[in-house]
Amino acid sequence: MFVRTQRDNFESKVVTPGQVITADTQYMRGHGTYLNEEESSHISSVAGVVERVNKLITVRPLHTRYTGNIGDLVIGRITEVTNKRWKVDINSRQDAVLLLSAINLPGGVQRRKTEADELQMRKFFAEGDLLAAEFQGSFNDGSTSLHTRNLKYGKLRNGSLIVVPPALVQRCKTHFHTLSCGVDVTLGLNGYIWVSKHSSKNLDELDPEAIYSNDNEPVDRSTRETIARVCNCINALSRHFMCITDTIIAYAYEASLKYPVKDLLKLEAMEFVTTEVRHKLSVVRSIY
Amino acid sequence: MAPVLISALEADYILKGIDDNLRADGRGRLDYREVILETGLITQAHGSARCRLGEGTDVLVGVKVDIGTVDIDGTEEEVATVKAKRGRVVCNVECSPIASQQFAGRGADDINNELTQMMSRVLNGPQGGLNLEKLCIIPGKACWIVYIDALVLDYAGNIVDTMFMTTRAALFNTQVPKAIIHDLGDGEVEFDLSEDVEEWERIEGWEHVPISVTLNKIGSRHIVDATPLEELTTEAKLHVMVNRNGKICGIQKSGSGSIEHSLLSEMVQVHIFVI
């Protein structure tokens, strides 16, 4: 029983820098915390949520760079093409690497990558290209690696990117969503979100040759408008520091229909949309 | 943080959106983002203003007036006599390296210099609007020097327009102490500064200070108030400085691309719609 109450004390406790987390010395000092001079209490060094594993207290900062976990879906931007690998910006402390051996080749054949592949690496991904990838792991020196060995991953097309704080995107069963308004949203756990035109193609019928093509499909005006609206909704949510999931985006989208797309850049409209979402969430919660 | 690279696919999406008159954030080609302007934030300065554009770009301008000697050099005598009766405007623009990756390290120097030059060129002349002769206290000797310091705190595209808007607001906010001139005879003159804040006055001609409208040429069209991604797609930029009467006070082009003659005149005409 004692343990339970202790746990409750820490759950979802938000602290600011300099705030005393606990005056109990039985705990161990973790990331984001320090001991005061008399070593009698734990103090937070960042603004964030207190987390506790057994005796270890850590504070997970709200505004921070992304730290990867194996299996995470991330969206990255190629910053450099080097020897047998790409450097990818994933909003992390350092750029991740994508090895040439960790991508699917066009044609779908599985084989060793040859020298010829090495020479045409820019045909697959060039500097600036955006891609969806999976976090593969991290090495001893702190560098991290990605892979795109799945047809779900790869180059991103027909849409635009929005950047939000990584803390707002939560880990879910799937990060590829198709909203009822007819656009696809890819939520990268690193806070990069890709909103694009819905591609109706099944993964099996996807042309394996086209996975690295540099051509957008034609996007008509109404789709473009919907994409812009979804982007602005996500932006409004992130400005008000609200969680971003497919349901919340859908709520925000519904609430936003009152305004023309470009008015969603205005502060009052953003305020209105987020209050509506909050209201809706509280209604949904009270039902369950 | 604003990206420094853009993918070919994003650039293509932006380009086609502009052709469709619907940009990535839902704006049309000639729509501005929301401007939030505050004045008088810095108590130590004689005038200050801060402007935020779409909650992204953030520029802070402080104006300080100081007594200095008039600029007496000038190769020709005529130029020298005009200069002897004038005050001066000294500009300095600094982009904070935390605002964007492109302002970090050496790259910032070029941008800072470019912006500083642009601002001094516009404000130090008849097109700048300020009555520089009024800033002169004793001809040939003392004058007011107006130091304008602009600080780019955050970057989300379109620094130049924000900078000029903030500068104009800061100059509106500026109060110059009154100088009381005593004639000591024999052509000797001295002056005191009035302590009475009530007697301080604005710099004459602040209302004629121009603001800038930046037009970004993307494809065969042009847009105003570009976001960072749109700026990366931009081939060439045209900064058109306009005053309150709709008179053009200066034009400057930047970027590596070229602008066709017909498009140029169209772009210059556009400022009227924007303002």
Q: What is the CATH number of the domain that holds A112?
A: 2.40.50.140
Q: For residue B186, how many other CB atoms are within 10 A of its CB?
A: 6
Task: State residue A2's pLDDT score.
Answer: 38
Task: Say yes or no: A137 and A168 in one domain.
Answer: no
The encoded tokens of residue A142 equal 């702190």
Using the Cβ of B66 and the Cβ atoms of chain A, whether some distance falls under 8 Å is answered with: no
Burial category of B163 from C-beta neighbours within 10 Å (exposed 0-12, middle 13-18, buried 19 and up): buried
Do the chains contact at A79 and B5, CB–CB below 8 Å? yes
Using the Cβ of B34 and the Cβ atoms of chain A, whether some distance falls under 8 Å is answered with: yes
Residue with tokens 């919907």: A226
Question: Rounded distance, CA A175 to CA A154, Å?
Answer: 14
Residue A164's nearest CA partner among A137, A141, A179, A186 is A186
Name chain A contacts of B5, Cβ cutoff 8 Å: 77-79, 127-128
We report the CATH number of the domain holding residue A24 as 2.40.50.100
Q: How far is A284 from chain B (nearest CA, A)?
A: 30
- Helices and strands (H and E) in chain A: how many: 6, 17
Using the Cβ of B184 and the Cβ atoms of chain A, whether some distance falls under 8 Å is answered with: no
Give the mean pLDDT of B190-197. Answer: 77
Using CB atoms, pick whichever of B5, B10, B33 lies closest to residue A160: B10
Residue with tokens 């008088």: B40
Residue B10's nearest CA partner among A183, A90, A162, A157 is A157
Residue A257: give the domain boundaries.
Answer: 157-288
Strand partners, B145: B66, B88
Q: For residue B223, how many other CB atoms are within 10 A of its CB?
A: 26
Name chain B contacts of A156, Cβ cutoff 8 Å: 7, 9
Ordered by start, the domain boundaries in chain B are 1-31+210-275, 34-205
> Looking at per-residue confidence, does B192 or A180 come out higher?
A180
Q: What is the 3-state secondary structure (H, E, C) of chain B?
A: CECCCCCHHHHHHHHHHHHCCCCCCCCCCCCCCCEEEEECCCCCCCEEEEEEECCCEEEEEEEEEEEEECCCCCCCHHHHHHHHCCCEEEEEEEECCCCEHHHCCCHHHHHHHHHHHHHHHHHCCHHHCCCHHHHECCCCCEEEEEEEEEEEEECCCCHHHHHHHHHHHHHHHCCECCEEEEEEECCEEEEEECCCHHHCECCCCHHHCCEEEEEEEECCEEEECCCHHHHHHCCEEEEEEECCCCCEEEEEEECCCCCCHHHHHHHHHHHHHHC
Question: Rounded distance, CA B207 to CA B129, Å?
Answer: 7
Q: Are B139 and B83 in contact (CB under 8 A)?
A: no
Pairing of strands A28-29, A33-35: unpaired
Name chain A contacts of B33, Cβ cutoff 8 Å: 265
Burial category of B94 from C-beta neighbours within 10 Å (exposed 0-12, middle 13-18, buried 19 and up): middle
Task: State residue A256's pLDDT score.
Answer: 94
Using CB atoms, pick whichever of B10, B14, B26 lies closest to residue A130: B10
Selected for mutation to probe chain A from B1, B4, B6, B13 (highest A CB count within 10 Å) is: B13
Residue B34's nearest CA partner among B150, B119, B168, B158 is B158
In the listed set A132, A155, A178, which residue is the last one of a domain according to the structure?
A155
Give residue A100's identity as a one-letter amino acid code: L
Give the mean pLDDT of B223-246. Answer: 89
Task: Say yes or no: A150 and A162 in one domain.
Answer: no
Question: Rounded distance, CA B155 to CA B107, Å?
Answer: 15
Do the chains contact at B12 and A216, CB–CB below 8 Å? yes
Do the chains contact at A160 and B13, CB–CB below 8 Å? yes
Question: Rounded distance, CA B225 to CA B207, Å?
Answer: 23
Task: Say yes or no: A166 and A109 in one domain.
Answer: no
Q: Assign A155 to helix, strand or coil.
A: strand
Strand partners, B38: B50
Terminal alpha carbon distance of chain B: 29
Strand partners, B66: B145
The encoded tokens of residue A96 equal 């991740």
Name chain B contacts of A78, Cβ cutoff 8 Å: 5, 7
Task: Say yes or no: A202 and A280 in one domain.
Answer: yes
H/E stretch holding A193 reads: strand A192-197
Do the chains contact at A265 and B6, CB–CB below 8 Å? no
Task: State residue B86's pLDDT score.
Answer: 83
B1-31+210-275 is classed CATH 3.30.230.70: yes
Task: Say yes or no: A101 and A187 in one domain.
Answer: no
Residues of A with CB under 8 A from a CB of B: 77-79, 126-130, 155-161, 163, 214-216, 219, 221, 224-225, 227-229, 231-232, 235, 239, 260-262, 264-267
Residue A231's nearest CA partner among A274, A263, A196 is A196
- Can B1-31+210-275 and B34-205 be said to share one CATH topology? yes
Percent of chain B surpassing pLDDT 70: 96
Q: How far is A66 from chain B (nearest CA, A)?
A: 14
Do the chains contact at A232 and B25, CB–CB below 8 Å? yes
Percent of chain B surpassing pLDDT 90: 34
Give the mean pLDDT of B63-72. Answer: 86
CA A240 vs CA A175, A233, A264, B82: distances in Å: 22, 11, 13, 55
Confidence grade of residue B161 (pLDDT, cut at 50, 70, 90):
very high
Write the pLDDT tens digit of every residue in A131-175: 999 999 998 888 899 999 888 888 998 999 999 999 899 888 899
Using CB atoms, pick whichever of B5, B13, B22 lies closest to residue A77: B5
Do the chains contact at A228 and B28, CB–CB below 8 Å? no
Task: Say yes or no: A10 and A95 in one domain.
Answer: no
Pairing of strands A96-103, A85-89: antiparallel
In the listed set A155, A178, A205, which residue is the last one of a domain according to the structure?
A155
Name chain A contacts of B229, Cβ cutoff 8 Å: 160-161
Tally of domains in chain A: 3
Task: Say yes or no: A267 and A174 in one domain.
Answer: yes
Q: Report how many Cβ contacts below 8 Å link chain A to chain B.
A: 84
Do the chains contact at A228 and B24, CB–CB below 8 Å? yes
Task: State residue B222's pLDDT score.
Answer: 87
Q: Assign A182 to helix, strand or coil.
A: coil
Which CATH class, in words, describes the domain spanning B34-205? Answer: alpha beta
Name chain B contacts of A221, Cβ cutoff 8 Å: 20, 22
Name chain B contacts of A236, Cβ cutoff 8 Å: none
In the listed set A155, A177, A208, which residue is the last one of a domain according to the structure?
A155
Do the chains contact at B13 and A128, CB–CB below 8 Å? no
Question: Rounded distance, CA B98 to CA A186, Å?
Answer: 28
Using CB atoms, pick whichever of A78, A214, A224 lies closest to residue B9: A214
The side-by-side arrangement of strands in the sheet containing A28-29 is: A14-15, A48-53, A56-61, A28-29
Chain B, nearest residue to A158 by Cα: B13
Task: Say yes or no: A282 and A166 in one domain.
Answer: yes
Selected for mutation to probe chain B from A64, A125, A130 (highest B CB count within 10 Å) is: A130
Q: What is the 3-state secondary structure (H, E, C) of A123-145?
A: HHCCCCCEEEEEEEEECCCCCEE
Task: State residue B22's pLDDT score.
Answer: 92
Confidence grade of residue B274 (pLDDT, cut at 50, 70, 90):
low
Residue with tokens 């847009």: B223
Question: Rounded distance, CA B134 to CA A214, Å?
Answer: 60
pLDDT above 80 (res B169): yes
Selected for mutation to probe chain A from B1, B7, B33, B231 (highest A CB count within 10 Å) is: B7
Q: What average pLDDT does the structure give for chain B?
A: 86
Q: Which residues of chain A have pLDDT under 70?
A: 1-12, 108, 201-209
Task: State residue A52's pLDDT score.
Answer: 86
pLDDT above 90 (res B194): no
Which residues make Cβ contacts (< 8 Å) with residue A143, sequence separation at least 6? A94, A96, A97
What is the DSSP-derived secondary structure letter of residue A41? S
Residue with tokens 């097309």: A157
Task: State residue A195's pLDDT score.
Answer: 94
Selected for mutation to probe chain A from B14, B16, B25, B225 (highest A CB count within 10 Å) is: B25
Task: State residue B148's pLDDT score.
Answer: 94
Q: What are phi and psi of A52, to 5 degrees?
A: -135, 130
